[in-house]
Amino acid sequence: MEDPYAILGIPGTASPEEVRRAYARLVRRHPPESDPSSFARVRRAYEVLRDPARREEHDAEAIWGDECRALVQEAEEHLHQGRPARATALLKRVLVLNRNLDPARRLLVRALGAQGRFREALREAERRISRSQEDLGPLCQAAWICYRWIEVSRDHPVRRRRLEARAHDLLDRAHQADPEHLGVRVVRAELYRLMDRPERALEWLDGKSPGGSGNRLWNLKPRLIEAALMIDRLDRRGLQACLRGIEFACLVGESEKEAGLFFVQQARKEIRRGSFHSLRWLIHAAEVSGSGAQEVRQALAPLKDLHALIRERNRIPPKLWGVRRLLGLEIELIRVPVEREAEILRHWEEVQHRVLEEPHRLRRRWARKLRESCPIFSGRNQPLLAALEEP
C-alpha cells in the first residue's frame, strides 16, 4: 500500500479540511472521466484519510505495525507458558499504540481471566464487543468470563445474580447472531448447570441434538476443552462433542494449540487402527483448530500408501493369490498395533515360502505384478523378488 499522505501531498498532521482540499485539487487535475487510473489512486488515498477510524488504523499500522505484531507474539508465548501477568503488561503496551488491534485485546481478556482479574477482563471483553466487526467471538468471550467469575463467586449472591443476568444477555445476542451455533448452546447449558438448573441446561443441549447426545455433552466438565481432551473413544458422536468443545475454545481464545495437538496425537493412533471414518473428522478438527494441520498431513503419509495398497490388492485377479495375500499382509502391517507385528511377519514368511514353490511361469508374472503394485513392498522384499525372477 502506498503512503496516502504522499499521494495527496499533505503532511501526517493534516486536518480533515486540508485532506478534503488536497483531494479536491487532485481530482481537478485527474478527473475520473479522462484520467481514471490516477483518479482511482487518489481516491484510494482519500478514502483512507477521510474516515477518522480508517485514518487512525492506517497511522497505527504504518508506524507501529511491526512492533505491535512482535509484542503480540511475545505475549502469546508468555501466556502459553503460564505467565499471564507478563503477557498482560505487553498486551497493554500494544493497545496503547493501537487500540483497535482486536487480536491483542482478545489475548488480553484471556490473560486477565487467567489471573482471576475478572472485573478488568469483563471490561475489556465488552470493549471488544463494541469495537470488533465480528459478533460471535467477542460475545462468547465475554459470556465465558462471566461464567468463570460466577464460578468463583459462590459466596457473593448479589454479584452472582448480576453476572448471571449479564451472561444470559450476552448469550442471547450471540444466539441471535447465529442460532445454529452449538458453542453458544453449550455455554448456555453450562451456565444453567452452574445456576443449579439442570433441566434448563438439558433443554439447551437437546434443542439441537435430540436423541440423548445431550447427555454426552452434559458430561463435559466446566472446562469444556479439557473434557474434550479426555474423551478417548472417538466414535462419531464423541468426536462431534470434541469439535463443539474446540469450536468453543476457539471462540473464547483458549487452548486452540492444546486442542490441535491432542488431535494430532489421536490422528496417529487412528492411523494404526486404520479407521478412516474417524480420521476424516480428526483432520478436519486439527485444521479448524488452526494448529497441527501440517503434522496431521505428515502423519497421514503412510495412510496414503495404505490406500494405494488396498486399491492395488483389489485389482489383482484371484488367480494371483500369492500377490494378493502378500499385499494383504502389507496392509495388516501398517494397521495393526506394534505388538502384533511379529505375528504378521511370521505369516509373511510362510506365504513367501509357498510362493517360491509355485511353477516358474507364474513366478515371473508375480514378480512383475509385485514390482508394479507397490514400491513399499518391493523395497522391503528385494530378496523375494530376486528369487522369483531367478531362471
Among 74, 44, 71, 76, CA closest to 60? 71
Q: How far is the CB of 55 from another protein (least distance, A)?
A: 15
Binding site for another protein (CB under 8 A): 20-21, 24, 27-28, 31-34, 36-37, 39-40, 43, 47, 178, 180-183, 243, 246-247, 284, 288, 297
Q: How far is the CB of 161 from another protein (least distance, A)?
A: 31
What are 263's three cell numbers?
A: 488431535
What are 150's three cell numbers?
A: 460466577
- What angle, rounded to 10 degrees, do the helices at 102-114 and 118-131 form? 160
Which amino acid makes up residue 303?
Answer: L
Contact indicator for 312, 327 with CB cutoff of 8 Å: yes
- Our CB check for another protein shows the closer of 113 and 183 to be 183
Which amino acid makes up residue 315?
Answer: R
- Our CB check for another protein shows the closer of 28 and 353 to be 28
As to burial, measured by CB atoms within 10 angstroms (0-12 exposed, 13-18 middle, 19+ buried), residue 212 is: exposed
Q: How far is the CB of 243 from another protein (least distance, A)?
A: 6
- Our CB check for another protein shows the closer of 182 and 306 to be 182
Distances (CA, A) of 379 to 75, 302, 330, 348, 374: 49, 15, 12, 15, 9
- Our CB check for another protein shows the closer of 76 and 247 to be 247
- Our CB check for another protein shows the closer of 284 and 364 to be 284
Q: How far apart are CA 193 and CA 191, in angstroms?
A: 5
Classify each residue of 105-137 as buried b or exposed e, where b means 16 or more C-beta atoms within 10 Å of its C-beta. bbbbbbbbbbeebbebbbebbbbbbeebeeebb
Contact indicator for 174, 143 with CB cutoff of 8 Å: yes
- Our CB check for another protein shows the closer of 1 and 96 to be 1
Q: How far is the CB of 140 from another protein (least distance, A)?
A: 11
Among 111, 172, 102, CA closest to 138? 102
Q: How far is the CB of 256 from another protein (least distance, A)?
A: 13
Q: Cell 513367501 belongs to which residue?
A: 352
Q: How far is the CB of 346 from another protein (least distance, A)?
A: 37
Q: How far is the CB of 50 from another protein (least distance, A)?
A: 10
- Our CB check for another protein shows the closer of 44 and 99 to be 44
- Our CB check for another protein shows the closer of 99 and 284 to be 284
Q: How far apart are CA 279 and CA 267, in angstroms?
A: 6
- Our CB check for another protein shows the closer of 115 and 240 to be 240
CA torsion, ordered 101, 102, 106, 111, to nearest 10 deg: 10
Q: How far is the CB of 217 from another protein (least distance, A)?
A: 15
Contact indicator for 225, 246 with CB cutoff of 8 Å: yes
Q: How far is the CB of 57 from another protein (least distance, A)?
A: 17
Can you list the positions of beta strands (E) in 248-353? none
